[in-house]
């Protein structure tokens, strides 16, 4: 996203490509954990009571712990790049798109103090969000490991060839899901796509609104949105599309929900004329 964007359709298309690529990278990083989970379950299921069973269980445990560390590093690196590089580029593209909509040259834009403060605040929040998800995933992986070790050792200690219930452990500890605030579990790829889309579009829109104020001297912006979309949420009866909003209100609500199609256009208020001014 280093090339300036011309036109609203191009911006949306480029953001979609950008989000798709980031979702692929984050999902691939998460696969480290799910692959390790499957490998551990297969390994433990193959261990039979005997002289070297305890050693084999310990080796499997160590291998999974290494995978957790690898997962932690890889997703952490993704979050750092997303916050330090990717989101600032999305912010800049949104800013340049606002200049395009006003038919103003890109040279008007630069990383002013206001823009720097805005992107710093945005990236700090979203970096914390991603790291929180990472820490939750690591905690869940560690809980799964404890459960798997307990099940495997109980089986070996009892010197029985009873079935090792891989399906139950995977069902109770689905590491390929993310838990939402309402305790609903969603596949990692679905969560990643929704979360990164929200963050990238929100960031680009924040850049657009800030540019309308900073470079275009607008105090208001015009909203382009889905016909049924509310201002603060999708169900808000205050419909957003076609309305004129104060800059600060627009910065507070750059998007209303995940997969929001909201865009902003500059609104140049007409000067108030005194009686007889045109006489």
60: in domain: yes
| Confidence (pLDDT) at 6 | 46
Q: Do 202 and 255 fall within a single domain? A: no
Confidence of residue 71 (pLDDT cuts 50, 70, 90): very high
159: alpha, beta or left? (left if phi > 0; alpha if psi -120 to 50): left
Type and span of the H or E element at 87: helix 87-101
Cα–Cα distance, 16 to 5 (Å, whole number): 13
Q: Please identify, among 177, 199, 217, the residue that sits at the C-terminal boundary of a domain.
A: 217
Both 145 and 164 in one domain: the answer is: yes
Average pLDDT of span 16-24? 93
Distances (CA, A) of 240 to 106, 204, 226, 270: 28, 18, 8, 22
- Read off the DSSP letter of residue 181: T
Give the pLDDT band of residue 235 (cuts 50, 70, 90).
Answer: confident
Structural domain for 236, as ranges: 219-270
pLDDT for 216 beyond 80 = yes
Report pLDDT digits (tens) over 110-149: 999 999 999 999 999 999 999 999 999 999 999 999 999 9
Query: Does 228 lie in the same domain as 108?
Result: no
Q: Lowest mean pLDDT: which of 11-15, 89-93, 100-104, 241-245?
A: 11-15
- What pLDDT shows up at residue 51? 77
Q: For residue 13, give both structure tokens.
A: 């298309």
Q: Give the mean pLDDT of 246-251.
A: 95
Least confident segment among 77-91, 170-184, 263-277: 263-277
Question: Which of 51-60, 225-234, 241-250 is predicted most confidently?
Answer: 241-250
Kindly state whether residues 29 and 160 are assigned to the same domain. yes
Are 51 and 99 in the same domain? yes
Closest CA to 262 of 211, 224, 227: 224
Mean pLDDT for the chain?
89
Please say which residue of 178, 197, 217 terminates a domain. Answer: 217
Is 226 found in the same domain as 211?
Answer: no
CA atoms within 13 A on the CB side of 237: 0
pLDDT of residue 115: 97
Residue 235: is it exposed, middle or buried by C-beta count within 10 angstroms (0-12/13-18/19+)? exposed
Query: Considering the domain boundaries, does residue 277 fall inside one?
Result: no
Q: Residue 111 and residue 114: Cα distance in Å, rounded?
A: 8
If one counts the domains in the chain, the total is 2
């Amino acid at each position: 996203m280093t090339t300036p964007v011309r036109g609203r359709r191009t911006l949306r298309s480029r953001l979609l490509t950008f989000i798709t690529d980031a979702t692929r990278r984050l999902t691939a990083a998460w696969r480290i954990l799910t692959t390790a989970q499957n490998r551990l379950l297969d390994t433990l299921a193959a261990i039979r009571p005997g002289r070297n069973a305890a050693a084999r269980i310990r080796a499997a445990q160590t291998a999974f712990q290494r995978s957790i560390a690898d997962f932690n590093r890889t997703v952490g690196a993704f979050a750092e790049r997303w916050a330090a590089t990717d989101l600032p580029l999305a912010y800049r593209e949104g800013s340049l798109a606002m200049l395009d909509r006003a038919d103003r040259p890109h040279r008007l834009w630069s990383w002013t103090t206001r823009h720097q403060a805005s992107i710093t605040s945005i990236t700090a929040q979203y970096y914390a969000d991603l790291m929180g998800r990472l820490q939750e995933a690591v905690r869940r992986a560690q809980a799964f490991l404890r459960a798997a070790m307990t099940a495997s050792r109980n089986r070996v200690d009892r010197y029985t060839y009873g079935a090792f219930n891989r399906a139950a452990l995977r069902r109770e500890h689905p590491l390929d899901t993310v838990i939402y605030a309402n305790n609903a579990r969603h596949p990692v790829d679905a969560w990643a796509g929704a979360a990164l889309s929200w963050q990238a579009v929100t960031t680009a829109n924040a850049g657009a609104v800030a540019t309308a104020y900073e470079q275009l001297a607008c105090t208001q912006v015009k909203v382009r949105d889905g016909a049924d979309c509310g201002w603060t949420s999708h169900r808000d009866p205050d419909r957003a599309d076609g309305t004129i909003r104060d800059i600060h209100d627009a910065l507070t609500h750059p998007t209303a929900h995940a997969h929001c199609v909201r865009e902003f256009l500059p609104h140049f208020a007409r000067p108030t004329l005194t009686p007889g001014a045109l006489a």
